[in-house]
Amino acid sequence: MSDLATPSSQFERQARWREKNPLKRWAHIATASALRRGLIERGPCEVCGADNTDAHHDDYARPMAVRWLCRAHHKAEHARLKCEQNGGEQ
Ligand SMILES: [Zn+2]
Ligand SMILES: [Zn+2]
């Protein structure tokens, strides 16, 4: 293994994701900031009620309009959206 060829490092993938998704990135930052300030509250997964949830945005232009989904149901929701939109997500 040569250390010249590490194109898919976590860092690079994140940097590329940020370049391609400025609106999503902004929504994530706005959501984290709103959570810290107590403007929105983390809730349980709306599907199974699990406590360990991620914020999901139906519309990234409205970062305060979040739905709370556990890792598994968040993934499932994105898979569903991906099918509906025929790609584009992540
Ligand atoms: Zn769940
Ligand atoms: Zn999501």
Taking only the tens place, the pLDDT of each residue in 15-54 is: 998 889 899 999 999 999 999 999 999 999 999 999 999 9
> Given this model, what pLDDT does residue 21 score?
87
Percent residues over pLDDT 70 in the chain: 87
CA of residue 73 to ligand 1 center, whole Å? 5
Residues facing 55 on adjacent strands: 68
Whether residue 1 lies inside any domain: the answer is: no
Q: How far apart are CA 59 and CA 28, in angstroms?
A: 12
The domain tally of the chain equals 1
Residue 89 above 50 pLDDT? no
Position 84 pLDDT exceeds 50? yes
How far is ligand 1, taken at its centre, from the CA of residue 42, in Å? 14
**Which two tokens mark 27?**
């929504």
Residue 66 lies in a domain: yes
Domain housing 19: 12-85
